[in-house]
A = this chain, B = another copy of it.
Amino acid sequence: MQARGGIDLGGTKIQAVVVDARNAVRGEARRPTPTKGGPQDVANAMSEAMADAAELAGVETDSLQGVGVGSPGAVDQATGEVSQARNLPGWEGTFGLGPQLSDALGTNVALGNDVDVATDGEFELGVGKPFDSLLGVFWGTGVGGGVILNGERWTGRGAAGEIGHMVVKENGRRCPCGRLGCMEAYAGRSAMEHKARREVEKGRKTSLFKIMEKRGRDRLTSGIWWRAVKHEDKLAIELIDQAIEAIATATASAVNLLDIEAVVIGGGLGTRFGEPYVKRIAKAMQPHLFSDDRPPKIEVAALGDLGGAIGASLLVAR
């Protein structure tokens, strides 16, 4: 079997896959992203997840054609170094993630930006296939964006796609990035958790943290938000409503600027909440669309939770 590996390094979890030559998933495994320690601990968890995925696929990691990694932070594709990966523990500096993983796994490792590889995955293998221009919105710990124009990724001077930091409210809520009124300040999992904690401190009731403890977690994962909303927790519903409104507003602004054909909503929260919530985003965009008689297609990421890892595996094929 001509197999390739792909790892999606997220702020909440590490997802590894092994795919065959036709991009079908032959094995997959995950680890929670370490919240303590440093880059080496994260690299170890990544190697373990990859080894598990390979075992399930019935291959050794050193027989893989290579492993692609979608990483947050600033990625140097030439050296395999990752810098300033906020949301990851002790990763303010630079760490040679590529060489480390390559040693541990015994195969080549290619690095890319997490959101870029997820966008490429959806564009090449997922719901993006029929379109020439596309906006990927990855609703997870943060909210990342990928822009495809004329069938190619648009990176600008290297930092394009920061849809999470488009402003939805002048002088609005403080974002984890430090700025005011960013979309991510309302929609990012991390920002939403921060807001929920502040509301609890102010005396509001919520089942969010009870569910978290019951499930032995130390943060509000997408699954916990989902469960709380399903059980009609008022605070969870309110914060998810605000998130939907913020995503819709920023996405509509992006559509007014670029008039792209389609929007793909992915990421941990995006795939967990799925179709009904993506429909709500589409509906909330409508009043902001300048060409409102011709909205773009709004779709849930087809590769689902594995999209980032499958997209990362495409780095090897190149």
Chain A interface residues (CB < 8 Å from chain B) = 133, 145, 147, 149, 154-163, 165-170, 172, 177, 179-180, 245-246, 249-250, 252-254, 256-261, 287-288, 290-291, 294
Q: Max chain B CB contacts within 10 Å: which of A158, A160, A167, A261?
A: A167
Of the candidates B250, B253, B258, the one whose C-beta lies within 8 Å of that of A154 is B258
Q: Please tell me if the beta carbons of B257 and A180 are within 8 angstroms of each other in the complex.
A: no
Q: Please tell me if the beta carbons of B155 and A257 are within 8 angstroms of each other in the complex.
A: no
Do A167 and B249 contact each other (CB < 8 Å), given the known contacts A133-B156, A149-B154?
A: yes
Q: Please tell me if the beta carbons of B179 and A287 are within 8 angstroms of each other in the complex.
A: yes
Residues of B contacting A158 in the complex (Cβ-Cβ under 8 angstroms): 259
Complex Cα gap A156–B260 (Å): 5
Of the candidates B163, B168, B290, the one whose C-beta lies within 8 Å of that of A165 is B290
Q: Please tell me if the beta carbons of A180 and B287 are within 8 angstroms of each other in the complex.
A: yes
Identical subunits present = 2
Complex Cα gap A162–B255 (Å): 9
Q: Please tell me if the beta carbons of B288 and A179 are within 8 angstroms of each other in the complex.
A: yes
Residues of B contacting A157 in the complex (Cβ-Cβ under 8 angstroms): 133, 259-261, 291, 294
Q: Please tell me if the beta carbons of A159 and B257 are within 8 angstroms of each other in the complex.
A: no
Complex Cα gap A161–B256 (Å): 7
Complex Cα gap A156–B148 (Å): 11
Complex Cα gap A165–B292 (Å): 12
Q: Please tell me if the beta carbons of A160 and B259 are within 8 angstroms of each other in the complex.
A: yes
Complex Cα gap A290–B259 (Å): 23
Complex Cα gap A168–B250 (Å): 9
A130 nearest CB across to chain B (Å):
14
Q: Please tell me if the beta carbons of A290 and B167 are within 8 angstroms of each other in the complex.
A: no
Complex Cα gap A48–B274 (Å): 59
Residues of B contacting A257 in the complex (Cβ-Cβ under 8 angstroms): 145, 147, 160-163, 166, 254, 257-258
Q: Please tell me if the beta carbons of A167 and B245 are within 8 angstroms of each other in the complex.
A: no
Q: Please tell me if the beta carbons of A170 and B256 are within 8 angstroms of each other in the complex.
A: no
Complex Cα gap A230–B261 (Å): 45
Complex Cα gap A155–B154 (Å): 15
Residues of B contacting A156 in the complex (Cβ-Cβ under 8 angstroms): 133, 258-260
